[in-house]
Amino acid sequence: MFLVMFMLLVILSPFIIILAPLLGGLLAFGIVMGWLFRLVDAVHDAVNRVLGKHVGLAK
């Protein structure tokens, strides 16, 4: 069983080496986009409160 796992690891290691940075990049991109979205949303809410009416995208 261990041998089979080891063989799979050896066979898949190039794919893992190629995919790991891509997945990491996607994860980082997702986190950054999430924070940007939250920031934009917070600014939008603040603008709405200040002006007392909806600006741009109405929720």
Summarised one tens digit per residue, pLDDT across range 17-46 is 888 888 889 999 999 999 999 999 999 888
Q: How many Å from the N-terminal Cα to the C-terminal Cα in the chain? A: 55
**pTM score above 0.75:** no
Q: Under a CB-based contact definition with an 8 Å cutoff, are residues 41 and 57 in contact?
A: no
User: Quick one: average pLDDT of 37-59?
Assistant: 79
CA distance 8 to 31: 31
CA distance 37 to 27: 15
CA distance 44 to 56: 8
